[in-house]
Each structure stands twice: as structure tokens, then as C-alpha cells.
Structure 1
Amino acid sequence: MKEEFLALDVIKNDTTNRFELTVDGIIAFIDFKQKDQLIKLIHTEVPEALGGRGVAAALVEKTLVFLETNNFSLYPYCPYVYAYIKRHPDWKRVVDPTFPKYDEL
């Protein structure tokens, strides 16, 4: 993760069902659905103004840290999150083994 994002916190916004990362006053987010301790990450969105800076990767990594720290398990339905975990297989540890494509990660 780029140094410029290290001090930023990801926020779990239960009102909008989003994990949010604010960079330069602009919010990047991942939509989620939750049932008990299972979080389904659905869609990652980074506004064009933040594009190309590594914001999506920072958002995903910070979200995965949040999930692990707070004892959540994950279904990575979002293609970007799924690809991120596939590229960083150590994060498979937070994916729930019942996730349909678990064995493909």
C-alpha cells in the first residue's frame, strides 16, 4: 500500500452498507451485505478523480484488515476484491470456506 494511504482509516458505514475510504475529501467505497459475522463484498467503486493512485487496492486491503480484526468472514463477490485476494493469497484466510469459488482462490 502506498504510504499516502497508511494513516487513513476505512469506515464501516452501516447506514449505506459501504466500507468507505476518504482520500482528498472524496469517498471510495465497497458495497456490502451482512448477515451476522459474514460480510459479502459486492462492488468496489473509486471516483475518477482518484483513479490510478492505488486507492482501490488500499481500500480493499484496509477493508480486509477490518474484517479480520473484527472476526468477520467474507464472500468476495466483487470481481476486484476477488482478484485482489487471488493476487494476495494470504488474505484467503478471511474468506469463508463456504464461498462458492473458495477452491479457485
Structure 2
Amino acid sequence: MSETVVDNPAQNRFEMAVDDELAVVYYRQEGEALVLVHTEVPQALSGQGIGSRLAQGVFDLIRASGRKAIVRCPFLAKWASRHPDVDDLVVG
């Protein structure tokens, strides 16, 4: 169980493999920003904090890439509101 978040630009999503499941955040590119539109965590992984670890990894990758995030996903918006360390990444 590696739980490393990776960017899969061919699929327009960030992915985190957990056991035999895949948690994902879908996005679209708008200029230099990524619009985070939807998060999916498989039901089998629900309640284990997978979504929060996925969110942290996504924002870490966005920071490392020098991009910004436009958060349209309600889950990620709520997560970001509880993590002021990512405020500088969120635009729009």
C-alpha cells in the first residue's frame, strides 16, 4: 500500500492506489491553474482518511508544479478550508 499521489495528465486526474482500489481527483487545465472538479474514493476505502491523504497529495503536487488550483469539488473545498497552508494555492 504505497499511497503515493501521482498526476495522470492523459486521464486529467490525480491518482492514489490503495490496495487494489484507486482514489482519484479529476481536473481540467485552465491556463496555469488546475480546476479540481471531482473526487472519488471507492466505497471499500470510505472512512479511512483516504480522501484527506489524497487531497494533501494533490495540493503537494500542485505546489511542486508551480500551478494554482481552482476548487470546484465540494469535498476538496471543505478540506482546503480546514488547511490554511494551502490558501496560497487556491485561486478563483
In the TM superposition, residue 76 of structure 1 has moved relative to its aligned partner by: 0.7
Runs of 4+ more than 4 Å apart: none
SS of 1:60's equivalent?
Answer: helix
| Residue identity matched to 2:78 | A
Does structure 1 residue 91 correspond to structure 2 residue 86? yes
TM-score by length of 2: 0.93
TM-score by length of 1: 0.82
User: Which residue is 1:33 aligned to?
Assistant: 28
Does structure 1 residue 76 correspond to structure 2 residue 56? no
Larger radius of gyration: 1
Q: Quote the RMSD (CA, aligned, Å).
A: 1.3
Percent identical pairs in the alignment equals 30
**Structure 1: 5+ residue stretches without partners:** 100-105
The number of residues matched between the two structures is: 92
In the TM superposition, residue 16 of structure 1 has moved relative to its aligned partner by: 1.3
**Structure 2: 5+ residue stretches without partners:** none
